[in-house]
Structure 1
Amino acid sequence: MRVTETYVIRATPDAVWKIGGDTANVADWIPALEKSHQHGDLRYATFADDGGEATERIVHHDDPQRSYTYEYVSGPLPLSFYSSNFTVNPHPEGAEVVWSADFASPSPESEPELAAAITDIYRSALIELASHTEAHSSHPGGK
């Protein structure tokens, strides 16, 4: 199953990437996470409200393209496969973030519920990322 969330942020792509592309510190702008840190290519994210800890592997990180891909290694979600891509693109109003995931569950009947949960996490995180980024930079057309 695939989910994709896109969100336009009124800040330069580089300003958005500076925060969004920092793979170790995603808990700074993902409300579902209490804390995060990274060792090598492994990122550890602790979900808020005693939701458990997930381990993810950063499999590709491309600063010039403002894009990275990560995979779910282990954690509280019932996933047999999860690969996600986070990309920041130029947009006439600033930057467009495209965050998508391809995933599968050992119980296919649970996939629609998982898709809704992942979509909610992505959507709330992108709103928070916009507020963090816009607070720290001016609009590309502004001074």
Structure 2
Amino acid sequence: MTVQIAINESAHYPHSVEEIWKLCGAPGEADQWLPAVAKSWLDGDVRYAELAGGVGTARERITEHVDARHYYDYDYIDGPLVLKAFSSRFAVVAASEGGADILWTAQFQADNETEGDELRQAVSGMYQGGLQRIGEVLASDRV
């Protein structure tokens, strides 16, 4: 029986949407702020991400990229993780209390609850590592 898995990670930053988007808005430059990715690039609408530790390369199709609204959507094509029907959105939004929030969501299917939990932990851990690193890069004024 296939199970649906949803991931919702977010973080707040005392920086503007524009500052954050300058760092994170180019899908092919995820290696600048995502610790799990050693090297990344775009070839057309496909992002290649060489994962840290030599575990392999993931391919993701950028299905929508809207700079004016500060988000992009992507689907996992293939790579080291067995992710079925995986789609994700990376978005930066203004926060009502000032600063901005990153909302990083994903949905995918797994063959069973155990597999789903393992994949949820792996993807959530990667997203959380990225959100933490974004804060570190922004605080270091490297943007």
Length-normalised TM-score, structure 1: 0.91
Supply the RMSD in Å over aligned alpha carbons: 1.6
2:44 is aligned to: 40
Within the candidate set 29, 52, 59, 2:63 is matched to 59
Give the structure 1 partner of residue 117 of structure 2: 112
Question: Residues of 2 paired with 1:56 and 1:66: CA distance?
Answer: 19
**Cα distance between partner residues in 1 of 2:74 and 2:39:** 17
The 2-side partners of 1:41 and 1:96 are apart by 26
Deviates more, 1:103-112 or 1:31-40: 103-112
Please give the residue correspondences for 1:15-34 in structure 2 after superposition, counting only pairs within 5 Å.
15-34=19-38
Contact 1:83 1:102 in 2 (8 A): yes
1:75 aligns with 2:74: no
SS at match of 1:93: coil
Contact 1:79 1:106 in 2 (8 A): no
Report the alpha carbon displacement of residue 106 of structure 1 after superposing the two structures with TM.
4.1
Q: Percent identity at matched positions?
A: 31
User: Which structure 1 segments of 5+ residues have no match?
Assistant: 139-143
Contact 1:9 1:134 in 2 (8 A): no
**Aligned mates of 1:134, 1:21 — CA distance in 2:** 17
1:101 aligns with 2:106: yes
For 1:20 and 1:93, the matched residues in 2 are separated by 19
Q: Which amino acid aligns with 2:128?
A: R
Mapped partners of 1:133, 1:68: distance in 2: 20
Contact kept, 8 Å, 1:78 with 1:106, in 2: the verdict is no
Q: How many residues align?
A: 138
Which digits, 9 at most, give the CA deviation of each residue in 1:95-134, with x for residues without a partner? 1000000011345530111101111110110110111123
Report the equivalent of 1:129: 134
